[in-house]
Amino acid sequence: MINKLNDKIKKTGAPIVVGLDPMLSYLPQHLLDEAVQERGESLEAVADAIFAYNKQIVDATCDLIPAVKPQIAMYEQFGLPGLEAFKKTVDYCHEKDLVVIGDVKRGDIGSTSAAYATAHIGKVAVGNKTFTPFDEDFATVNPYLGSDGIKPFVDVCKEEKKGLFILVKTSNPSSGEFQDREIVDDEGNKRPLYEFVGQMVDRWGSDCMGDEFSYIGAVVGATYPEMGKVLREIMPKSYILVPGYGAQGGKGADLVNFFNKDGLGAIVNSSRGIIAAYKQEKYQSMGITEKNFADASRLAVEDMIADIASALR
């Protein structure tokens, strides 16, 4: 799957991923009204509106981008109907041949991690039949529990040719509270915890190679470009998934450090900046209204591609 992701990035020239994180406040009122008219004030109505919203955004952008990243929390908060919309979104994105990164940040130990891996990137057998529960292509994973928590995911990746992005340095302001603490690594060197986690990602990924990159990637926030530079060197074979561009403050120029010299090796996420672009004055002044929100998403994708391309030039 890392080969497919890398190929699609080369083909589109767009090392970007659209974060399908449909907060209630982003949903255009007319989509919500239509769904409530049909389903009443219910979780099912919200789920229908979410799927309609995602579908139009995907339709408007899928020829420009390699991948999407639905954030499962935004669906999980609407209970079972919300998770049904998550699954429908994953399936629809596959129909459009997009790579789907499930932003699930799961992580547990042994058989429990194996169950999460099955849920998101694996298969489960019931008698003679086999099912793919949520069927994403990549999953994000939390490393706090150590190798026991990661190995079961890696095993499923090898079997299914899928991939992971492991949290290394997250984009939020307080990510340093634990991640930046100085520790002593296995070679006796002092370094921040995130660097040591990066070393481990490199180690875990070394026997999971695709053609050019490992199946095992890392998450490093756009908001910490200097740390991105160091981590790029520590994990030369790992794709870096970069959140925090746009709304969280990361700029195009900050992103250079996350890429290899050939412009590959990183994929930058934007959620609000694309899916809620219709709320920005910039696009409203170009004739965008809530009704044609998906056109704004396309414009925002084009702008983001140009911003990153100019930074990488």
Which residues are marked as active site? 105
Closest CB to a copy of itself among residues 78, 259? 78
Asked if 83 touches a copy of itself (CB under 8 A), the answer is: yes
Among residues 145, 264, 309, 311, which is the contact residue for a copy of itself, using CB under 8 A?
145
Residue 91 interacts with a copy of itself (CB under 8 A): yes or no = no
Return the residue of 15, 149, 163, 265 that touches a copy of itself, per CB under 8 A. 149
73 binds a copy of itself (CB under 8 A): yes
Q: How far is the CB of 56 from a copy of itself (least distance, A)?
A: 21
Question: Where in 6-35 is the site for a copy of itself (CB under 8 A)?
Answer: 21, 23-24
* Span interacting with a copy of itself, options 3-11, 176-184, 230-238, 305-313, rule CB under 8 A: 176-184
Give the residue with the Cβ less far from a copy of itself, 87 or 94: 87
Q: Contact with a copy of itself (CB under 8 A): which of 10, 55, 115, 161?
A: 115
Q: Does 202 bind a copy of itself (CB under 8 A)?
A: no
Contact between 237 and 213 under an 8 Å Cβ cutoff? The reply is yes
- Residue-wise over 20-41: b if at least 16 C-beta within 10 A, else e? bbbeeebbbeebbeebbeebee
- Cβ proximity to a copy of itself: between 6 and 113 the closer is 113
Piece of 53-61, 178-186, 234-242, 291-299 that binds a copy of itself (CB under 8 A): 178-186
Out of 13, 110, 236, 249, the only residue in the binding site for a copy of itself (CB under 8 A) is 110
Q: Is 204 in the site for a copy of itself (CB under 8 A)?
A: no
Query: Is residue 274 at the binding interface for a copy of itself, with CB under 8 A as the rule?
Result: no
Quick one: three-class SS letters along the chain?
Answer: CHHHHHHHHHHHCCCEEECCCCCHHHCCHHHHHHHHHHHCCCHHHHHHHHHHHHHHHHHHHCCCCCEECCECHHHHCCHHHHHHHHHHHHHHHHHCCCEEEEEEEECCCHHHHHHHHHHHHCCEEECCEEECCCCCCEEEECCCCCHHHHHHHHHHHHHHCCEEEEEEECCCHHHHHHHCCEEECCCCCEEEHHHHHHHHHHHHHCCCECCCCECEEEEECCCCHHHHHHHHHHCCCCCEEECCECCCCECHHHHHHHCCCCCCCEEEEECHHHHCHHHCHHHHCCCCCCCCHHHHHHHHHHHHHHHHHHHHC
| Nearest by Cα to 102 from 133, 58, 135, 61 | 135
78 lies in the site for a copy of itself, by CB under 8 A: yes
Site string for a copy of itself, 180-199 (x = CB under 8 A): -xxxx--------x--xx--
* Residue 144 makes contact with a copy of itself by CB under 8 A: yes
Q: Which is nearer to a copy of itself, 196 or 259 (CB)?
A: 196
Q: Which is nearer to a copy of itself, 61 or 170 (CB)?
A: 170
> Does residue 76 belong to the site contacting a copy of itself (CB under 8 A)?
yes
Does residue 146 bind a copy of itself (CB under 8 A)? yes
